[in-house]
Amino acid sequence: MDIGQDEHFFFWFFESQQNPESAPVTLWLNGGPGCSSMIGLWQETGPCSLSQNGTTATLNPYSWTRYSNMIFLDQPVGTGFSYGARKTFSTEETAIKVYEFLQLFYEVFPKYKPLPFTIFGESYGGHYVPSYANYIVKQNNAIQKGHPSKFNYIIPIESIGIGNGWTDPLIQYYYYPQMACESQYGAVLPQETCDLMRRNYPECANLIKKCEATGTNSDCIAAEKYCQNNVELHYYSSGKSFYDVRRGANDIVYPDDYVKFLNTPETRHLIGARTGYEECPTEPASNFGQTGDNIRTFSPAISDLLNSGVRVLVYAGDADYICNWYGNYAWTMQLQWQQSPAFRAASLNAWNFQGKQVGQVQYGGDLTFLRIYDAGHEVPFSQPAPALEMFRKWLHRESFHA
């Protein structure tokens, strides 16, 4: 889809397997920045998966298309099959482009305009999802107030979901030592390394606060560089995967056989792809690095969404290091919005599925936090059945204690 002058977004759309004319519309976004949402399609929530040689497609019984119409979007430009000369250099800049994409989507497919809309994303989706959703809410308000705009469609956003997201670096950096040395899966680093990470955290926090105070690219880049080198990346010495502390660094945690399938001339022709496919190209991340986007916080956008009546689900596989559940739970507990006392007054309780406890849940004031046991960075890959049930309950507004 052509967004602007030399900006071309690739998306793959699937109707819901059940009642597509009334099922919600879900936009799925993978992270990076610069990682393709074909990851989510082929490894996690899409209708099909592939054999190990990347040639034979099979139905995914846990596809989220069972309950929702699903859009898998490659963004920003330079990600996956999306291409063009016009680049974006921050999450907030890209939010404008994704909003334009959605307006064009509704223009081409008007029958989906009345249906409830939600955005789900993981990893750097902790930046993307709140920013894009908040931009949508602001544009909806402007349209309703009659402010001039080249876009006229109200996007009926009802909720968002963030899986193992990178949302509030100031808080999340604090919990790297805890995940590395004190998780239920056992220590993967020597205690002295975790102690060093803790000693380095105050300087990391000071630099992040300076970035937040000034907002300048240089201050944010300095904060990102220090925090990564002196806190986060000590984890390299563990020899473990950043995405699952139970696996080795050289293990194939998430098979990428689908990449071979997408790069065949036959597949590219059938799906209208104009470029070769790369799962996580470096250019978008490099572009975002020029503004220190990684270290900027997006939890205030979530506060705004909650105050606007948009429901928020934050879920986390508890074996992930890079966007671990400790840090995600901590920022939800420190979030400030009108009904935050109701959320903080609650506590983590068992979440059961098919007669077994598969996680813990806490909710209040339109915010739900869900910890998923025995899952790494990609929850729908590690625990597909509980992840699908989570999605079903969320869309249908069912209690996780029921």
pLDDT value, residue 3: 81
Which residue among 8, 127, 234, 377 is the active-site one? 377
Q: Is 195 a catalytic residue?
A: no
Are 75 and 97 contacting, i.e. CB atoms less than 8 angstroms apart?
yes
Question: Helices 217-230 and 191-214: crossing angle, nearest 10°?
Answer: 170
pLDDT value, residue 318: 98
- Report the C-alpha gap between 21 and 10 in whole angstroms: 23
Tokens 């879920």 belong to 315
Are 387 and 380 contacting, i.e. CB atoms less than 8 angstroms apart?
yes
Report residue 241 as tokens: 């995967």
- Report the C-alpha gap between 376 and 335 in whole angstroms: 24
Residues 6+ apart with CB under 8 A from 299: 130, 167, 168, 171, 331, 335
Are 157 and 119 contacting, i.e. CB atoms less than 8 angstroms apart?
yes
- Report the C-alpha gap between 365 and 197 in whole angstroms: 34
Q: Is 396 a catalytic residue?
A: no
Which residue among 318, 320, 340, 366 is the active-site one? 320
CA-nearest of 3, 211, 217, 222 to 90 is 217
Write out the chain in H/E/C secondary structure: CEEECCEECCEEEECCCCCCCCCCEEEEECCCCCCCCHHHHHHHHCCEEECCCCCCEEECCCCHHHCCEEEEECCCCCCCCCEECCCCCCHHHHHHHHHHHHHHHHHHCHHHCCCCEEEEEEECHHHHHHHHHHHHHHHHHHHHCCCCCCCCCCCCEEEEEEEEECCCHHHHHHHHHHHHHCCCCCCCCCHHHHHHHHHHHHHHHHHHHHHHHHCCHHHHHHHHHHHHHHCHHHHHHHCEECCEEEEECCCCCCCCHHHHHHCCHHHHHHHCCCCCCCCCCHHHHHHHHCCCHHHCCCHHHHHHHHHCCCEEEEEEECCCCCCCHHHHHHHHHHCCCCCHHHHHHCCCEEEEECCEEEEEEEEECCEEEEEECCCCCCHHHHCHHHHHHHHHHHHHCCCCCC
- Report the C-alpha gap between 151 and 398 in whole angstroms: 34
pLDDT value, residue 402: 59
CA-nearest of 33, 41, 45, 13 to 77 is 33
pLDDT value, residue 2: 84
Report residue 331 as tokens: 């920022």
pLDDT value, residue 6: 87
Q: Is 377 a catalytic residue?
A: yes
* Whether CATH 3.40.50.410 fits 2-167+249-396: no
Are 400 and 387 contacting, i.e. CB atoms less than 8 angstroms apart?
no
* Whether CATH 3.40.50.300 fits 175-241: no
- Report the C-alpha gap between 343 and 313 in whole angstroms: 12
Residues 6+ apart with CB under 8 A from 69: 13, 14, 15, 16, 20, 23, 24, 25, 26, 112, 115
Are 269 and 63 contacting, i.e. CB atoms less than 8 angstroms apart?
no
Beta strands at 244-248 and 311-317: parallel, antiparallel or unpaired: unpaired
Mean pLDDT by 10 residues, the chain (402 residues): 86 96 98 96 94 79 98 97 94 96 96 97 98 97 84 94 98 98 97 98 98 98 98 97 96 87 92 94 96 98 98 98 98 97 96 96 97 98 98 95 68
Which residue among 123, 238, 340, 382 is the active-site one? 123
Model-level pTM?
0.96
- Report the C-alpha gap between 360 and 123 in whole angstroms: 20
Q: Where in the chain are the domains?
A: 2-167+249-396, 175-241
pLDDT value, residue 41: 97
Give backbone dihedrals phi and psi of 52, rounded to 5 degrees, phi first.
-65, -25
